[in-house]
Structure 1
Amino acid sequence: MGQTHLYLIRTHRTNSRAAEQQQGAMEVILIQSARRRRAQQQQQQLQQHQQRPQRQLRRQERIFRPRTTLQGLRKHDIIQRYRLKWQAIQQLLQNTEQQLAPTLVTPRTIPTETKLLAVLHMLASGSFQTTGALVGGISQPSFSAFLPKVLDAIIRLTPRHICFPNTLQKQQETKQGFYAISGFPHVLGAIDCTHVRLVPPAATEHLYRNRKHTHSINVQATVDHRGLITNIMAKYPGSVHDSYIFRHCTINEHFQDGRYGNGLLVADQGYDIQPWIMTPFGNPSTAAERAYNEAHRRTRSIVEQTFGILKSRFRCLDITGGSLLYSPEMVCRIILTCAILHNICIRINIPLLEPEPHMPEEEEEEDAGLQQEGEQQDTAAGIPRRQQIVNNFF
């Protein structure tokens, strides 16, 4: 009896295991069947998707605004916008092409001509806003990126366009040109300083505050009888006095070395009288001294006229254009670039289309009779030479 019961238990267990194994096998078969059905469905969906007509996805082409060129512009409009004639712009473009040409040309590349025209227009108008509106497709960041490159490319041309008379023939021609104005002898240039406004760096704001309590770069320049700028120094802040700038410039060193013989400069009383720099009498006491002062005034006026024309032609330098919103170093590069372009205009007789702006009284140049305390350094040799000129010519 006991053995029979044990046998039945074992048989039941064996049957149970067999049933479980059979059930497990069925589950595996069902799972595999389900997987096959899903695979078949996915394959059918893929085939159906591939059989559908494919819609062409095209990327919308970017539309670029047309770049400004000189084509179609009248001569008057070209000069009004860019201050140069068509031929002068093409020559300038040719002379700067090597420095401005892009290394990689893409549809987004700004052409060299567009860069040059944009900078010329900004210098002429004094405003990027008007330049951005006129020259299509240029953002302010892009303009700020290529502005230094264009300025530097033009500044590389300085020796071609700004040169003090350095040969006997040129010196003689310059002396004759000045003498024809009012009979003042031996003049190789008229010298003076002018102020160009800027927004100063906060850390050194006091250095750029001039005697008129505005912020500026004090720019010294010499000009010849035609109004050509023959030497320019644009690096000193507005607080620096005119006579200090002259004492530390190369043109003064060349006169001291005797490079220019008996040649001299005419200057206002903001400068020290030297054998090579003649200033007017503060209190002329004779008719000859008064005649000297009158001839001196008429001769020296060419430099003031030149500053007026320079600022009228390139409004970025003028008070009417506001203060330049660039670093002092960038402002100096802008000034030098404008001086080069001014000389190009003078040499090829480009007319000044806009009238010279009236300079408000508070922005006029340094008063000629005002001398900062401790600056006067007249030399013993300078006064006798002035008297010699009075005795021989007036």
Structure 2
Amino acid sequence: MAFAFPVWLAVQEALLEDEPTEAEKENPSCFDEFDDAALFEHFHLTRPCISFIVDAVRFRMKTVSYRRASPPVDVFVMVALNFFAHGAFTPAVVQKIGSCLHSSLPSAANSASGVIAGMSDVFISFPFTQDARDQNAAVMEEFCKIPNVLGVLAPVQFKIRASPYEKESFKSFINAQGFTSVMSQFICDSTGNILSVEKCCVGSTAEQELWEYSFKGREVEEDLHGKYWLIAGPGYHLGNHVLTAVAKPETIEDVLFNEAHAKMLNVMQETVDLLKRRFLCLMQLGFTEEGSLNKKLNIIKACSVLHNIALKFSVPPPTRARKTEPLYSGKHLAAETNIDALMARKELIKKTFSKPKNQD
């Protein structure tokens, strides 16, 4: 699930209890003038999903005492969803909302990004109870055969434009693949639900550094989430909670483990691909400076919130318009040997992937 089922029920109940005002009842939603096909074309989401998002944003703005938006909430949301879906504002949507919107479209989209990103405390949920962790690990084990895994960990690169005239700043945005980007740390489960998104760093940041200085990294390494693993790529160091592949497999068991490990990394690849296909704004986040990374993180988090909601509503993916981007890695740091972690991985492989002696 995109978030714990009790949380989902609580949100649904709160939204049902949050009666719309008389003005909201009298005024039809600006989305009503689009048929279902046009809705999906302009927003890459379905009508039930959009209705839930509008209600959730309205509820959020009331509960956090957010300054009331100058346009109605549905217009406020429409601006954001259209920008997220296309990375620009489509003419049909601009024409539809032009008379309602007193502020500029980019400003409204930025404000909406902040509100939706703030909803990540509800819609992006790392398993925080023992029952939730056990359930999550059981689903993961059924999928990849590796026990005690909570999710897959990866850095995600987002292309940006940076001014080459600011040489020092520009250099920091150049990633290991040679293009300018910012990167965030993602964790997802075996069905592509995003469990954690945090940090927005310059593209040259090493994956291991991103992990060590992240809130989730510190929580996990301090055993706050129990004795579980997160599967990770070669840019991370094998640790007590970070499970990497065997660099030089020597046995059939090592090979089988690496195949299972790669299966989980492929889930993250597919999750990021779907995220960027549905929200084309993530394909190019525009110009940025080191001091403006929080604005970029708001967009990334907001799209991640909407991704999880879309999965809950079984919204189909948009038609693929371009090749799938690989899951770009960050800069690798020389690994320090962790003997305890090596022995734990070896024991895990032996216990999980060795055939009984009475089998061929």
Counterpart for residue 125 of structure 1: 86
CA deviation after TM superposition for structure 1 residue 72, in Å: 3.7
Counterpart for residue 166 of structure 1: 128
Q: Is 2:345 the partner of 1:386? A: yes
CA deviation after TM superposition for structure 1 residue 209, in Å: 1.1
CA deviation after TM superposition for structure 1 residue 250, in Å: 1.6
Judged with a 3 Å threshold, the aligned counterparts in structure 2 of structure 1 residues 246 and 71 are, in CA distance, closer, same or farther, namely same
CA deviation after TM superposition for structure 1 residue 284, in Å: 0.3
Query: In structure 2, what is the Cα distance between the partners aligned to 1:198 and 1:131?
Result: 27
Q: For the Cα contact (< 8 Å) 1:75–1:85, is it kept in 2?
A: yes
Q: For the Cα contact (< 8 Å) 2:156–2:184, is it kept in 1?
A: yes
Pairing partner for 1:89 from 50, 64, 78: 50
Query: In structure 2, what is the Cα distance between the partners aligned to 1:219 and 1:165?
Result: 20
Query: In structure 2, what is the Cα distance between the partners aligned to 1:250 and 1:294?
Result: 30
Q: How does 1:263-278 map to 2 (within 5 A)?
A: 263-278=228-243
Matched to 1:268, the amino acid is: G
Per-residue CA deviations over 1:134-177 (Å, capped at 9, x if unaligned) read 54417896112222221111122111101111112211121111
Judged with a 3 Å threshold, the aligned counterparts in structure 2 of structure 1 residues 256 and 298 are, in CA distance, closer, same or farther, namely same
Q: How does 1:287-306 map to 2 (within 5 A)?
A: 287-306=252-271
Query: In structure 2, what is the Cα distance between the partners aligned to 1:144 and 1:356?
Result: 25
Counterpart for residue 117 of structure 2: 155
- Aligned residue for 2:239, secondary structure, equals coil
Q: How does 1:202-221 map to 2 (within 5 A)?
A: 203=166, 204-221=169-186
Q: Is 2:144 the partner of 1:182? A: yes
Q: Is 2:156 the partner of 1:194? A: yes
- Aligned residue for 1:71, secondary structure, equals helix
- Aligned residue for 1:265, secondary structure, equals strand
Q: How does 1:1-394 map to 2 (within 5 A)?
A: 69-97=30-58, 98=62, 99=66, 101-102=68-69, 110-128=71-89, 130=91, 133=94, 135-137=96-98, 142-200=104-162, 203=166, 204-318=169-283, 322-325=284-287, 327-355=292-320, 357-359=322-324, 364-366=326-328, 372=332, 374-394=333-353
Q: What is the identity percentage for the equivalent residue pairs of Structure 1 and Structure 2?
A: 18
Q: For the Cα contact (< 8 Å) 1:200–1:328, is it kept in 2?
A: no
- Aligned residue for 1:274, secondary structure, equals coil
Query: In structure 2, what is the Cα distance between the partners aligned to 1:131 and 1:247?
Result: 45
Matched to 1:101, the amino acid is: R
Q: Could you list the runs of 5+ residues in structure 2 that have no partner in the other structure?
A: 1-27, 354-360
Q: In angstroms, what is the RMSD of aligned CA positions?
A: 2.4
TM-score (norm: length of structure 2): 0.80
Counterpart for residue 56 of structure 1: none
Per-residue CA deviations over 1:342-383 (Å, capped at 9, x if unaligned) read 0111122111132273146xxx3335xx963x4423422211
Query: In structure 2, what is the Cα distance between the partners aligned to 1:365 and 1:148?
Result: 27
Q: For the Cα contact (< 8 Å) 2:86–2:279, is it kept in 1?
A: yes
Judged with a 3 Å threshold, the aligned counterparts in structure 2 of structure 1 residues 286 and 251 are, in CA distance, closer, same or farther, namely same
Query: In structure 2, what is the Cα distance between the partners aligned to 1:94 and 1:353?
Result: 23
Query: In structure 2, what is the Cα distance between the partners aligned to 1:159 and 1:304?
Result: 24
Q: For the Cα contact (< 8 Å) 2:82–2:93, is it kept in 1?
A: no
TM-score (norm: length of structure 1): 0.73
Q: How many residues align?
A: 313
